[in-house]
Amino acid sequence: MKFNSSRRKFLKAGLILPAVGLVSTNDSYAFSKMPDNVAYRVLGKTGLKVSTVGSGVGIEPDPQVIARAIDLGVNYFDTARMYGNGSSERITGTALKGKRDKVILATKTDGRTKSDIFKDMEASLNALNTDYVDIYHLHSRDTPDTITDESVEACEMLKKEGKTRFIGVSTHDVHAVADHILKIGKFDVVQTTYSYAIGGAPLRQEAISRLYAAGIGMVAMKVIIAVAGFIPRDINLPKEGPLAAIKWVLLNPAISTTVPYTKNIAELEMNVRAMAEAYTPQDEKMLYTRNQEIRPLYCRMCYECKGKCPNNVPITDELRFLAYYDFGANFHQAQDNFRRLPEEIRSVHCSDCSSCAVQCPNGVDIRNRLIRAQVLFA
């Protein structure tokens, strides 16, 4: 197998392990008559063969996009109970009617107690019009204390009952929770933020590598958001930025699949090309240039600012919500996440401070970005 220079960097970093997770399109798999040029990888110890480009259906999925994705060989679909207060799952379930056996379906719960997790699962199954999901994630668990014994026990019970085949964790800070996940030893899948803009951090890379080595299937999210858009439109957007971004992520064979949110069929058809096209020097130049342009605007989720605000503002979280709007053009998702913050946090106004006590090592203009988020979503 030939590797380009970027792929060799992964090798030198120790991130490429024996290629047990790589699946060629000539291998046998559970889904018949898939199109040519579709790449599959094994999702860790689950044994599931997943398309390297999946679909994050988002808050407002388009049934036509879902149908077209299946036609193109995409077989991994990711949603969540809280997306659109359940509307995402309902639309997805309707779109998958008669096609459930063709896809691998993942959803998530915000529940912390057994009763809440069980309640969410029943609601998800009803909305998705299925009697089981393939992967059930504890959603947005960014610190070890959010992955409680009770929540793990609940997931194990659902697995034993056949309501989910596998269990997982979704996280924005994989380094913070990797040791805890490995110590628990119960999870099959981890879904984490990973992209050109944020993926190069050594601690994130190292955490992904260790989880992969332990047989945990790795799913990348937030893959294209940094190159997908910017609401003020004062930055030149690369037309094929999302395609380049997905190709970069797939250079790392520890990543089995990606779940970019796709708004329309044109975007989908561009994104799936990443399964067949090589990462090029032109892609690298495009992503590098874009990364420099958005440096003051886009949070890299390094979490260096965690706990440093004297007013307890969760800086990374609020900047992430703002990115949903500024880069993803999804105001409802951004506002919904912001309004889930505790009242005492939402009442803090960064405009009351003459300067920010926290400096971003990546050059993000923290104060002005937080002011924008608080004005938009309050």
Put the strands of the sheet holding 22-23 in their side by side order.
22-23, 40-42, 49-51
- Measured distance CA(192)–CA(367) in Å, rounded: 26
- Strands in 198-242 per DSSP E: 217-221
Looking at residue 34, its pLDDT comes to 47
Measured on CA atoms in the order 328, 330, 331, 335, is the torsion positive or negative? negative
Give the rounded percent of residues in the chain with a pLDDT score beyond 90: 78
Residue 162 contacts by C-beta under 8 Å, 6 or more apart in sequence? 131, 132
In the chain the domains, ranked by start, together with CATH numbers, are: 5-292 (3.20.20.100), 315-377 (no CATH)
Of 52-66, 96-110, 307-321, 322-336, where does mean pLDDT reach its minimum? 322-336
**Is the per-residue pLDDT at 12 higher than 50?**
no
Distance CA 378, CA 376 (A): 6
pLDDT for position 23? 38
Q: Round to whole Å and give the CA distance between 36 and 26.
A: 10
Q: Where are the beta strands (DSSP E) in 316-362?
A: none
pLDDT of residue 123: 98
Beta strands 40-42 and 22-23 are antiparallel
Residue 16 has pLDDT above 90, yes or no: no
Please give the pLDDT value at position 6: 43
Count the Cβ atoms, other than its own, within 10 Å of residue 145: 9
Mean pLDDT of 89-94: 98
Is-contact 230 201, C-beta < 8 A? no
- pLDDT at residue 37, as a whole number: 80
* 184-188, 266-270, 277-281, 328-332: least confidently modelled range: 328-332
- CA pair distance 227, 7, nearest whole angstrom: 21
Segment 350-357 mean pLDDT: 94
Annotation marks residue 83 as catalytic: yes
Per-residue pLDDT, 227: 87
- Report the C-alpha gap between 351 and 344 in whole angstroms: 16
pLDDT at 72 over 50: yes
Angle, alpha carbons 325-72-242 (nearest 5°): 30
Tell me the per-residue pLDDT of 214-251, one tens digit each, with 9 for 90 and over: 999 999 999 998 887 766 556 666 789 999 999 999 99
Of the residues 83, 136, 324, 325, only one is catalytic, namely 83
Mention every residue, 6+ apart, whose C-beta is less than 8 A from residue 203.
175
Task: Say what the pLDDT of residue 252 is.
Answer: 96
Mean local confidence (pLDDT), 153-174: 98
Q: In the prediction, which pLDDT does 346 show? A: 96
| pLDDT the model gives residue 31 | 38
Confidence (pLDDT) at 20: 33
CA distance 249 to 297: 21
Q: What is the mean pLDDT of the chain?
A: 89
Q: How far is the C-alpha of 54 from the C-alpha of 30, rounded, in Å?
A: 16
Which strands form 133-138's sheet, in the order they lie side by side? 55-56, 76-78, 104-109, 133-138, 164-171, 189-193, 217-221, 255-258
As a whole-number percent, the residues of the chain with pLDDT over 70 amount to 88
For residue 24, which phi and psi values (nearest 5 degrees)? -85, 160
283-290: average pLDDT: 93
Mean pLDDT of the 207-214 span? 98
So what's the pLDDT on residue 81? 97
Strand-pairing partners, residue 109, are 138
Assess whether pLDDT exceeds 80 at residue 25.
no
Categorize the per-residue pLDDT at 338 as very low, low, confident or very high, splitting at 50, 70 and 90.
Answer: very high
More confident call, 213 vs 5:
213
pLDDT of 117 strictly over 60:
yes
Q: Which residues contact 20 (CB under 8 A, 6 or more apart)?
A: 42
Residue 298 has pLDDT above 50, yes or no: yes
Residue 60 pLDDT grade (very low, low, confident, very high; cuts 50, 70, 90): confident
The predicted model gives 326-343 an average pLDDT of 91
- The CA distance from 363 to 197, in Å, is 13
Burial of 12 (C-beta count, 10 Å sphere; 0-12/13-18/19+): exposed
Distance CA(259)–CA(224), nearest Å, equals: 9
How does strand 55-56 pair with strand 76-78? parallel
**pLDDT at residue 256 in the model:** 99
Q: Measuring CA to CA, which residue among 167, 109, 178 is closest to residue 143? A: 178
At residue 29, the pLDDT reads 32
205 pLDDT higher than 50: yes
d(CA 324, CA 299): 11
- What's the rounded Cα separation, in Å, for the pair 265 and 92? 16
For the chain, the residue count is: 378
Say what the pLDDT of residue 27 is.
36
The token pair at 21 is: 């997770």
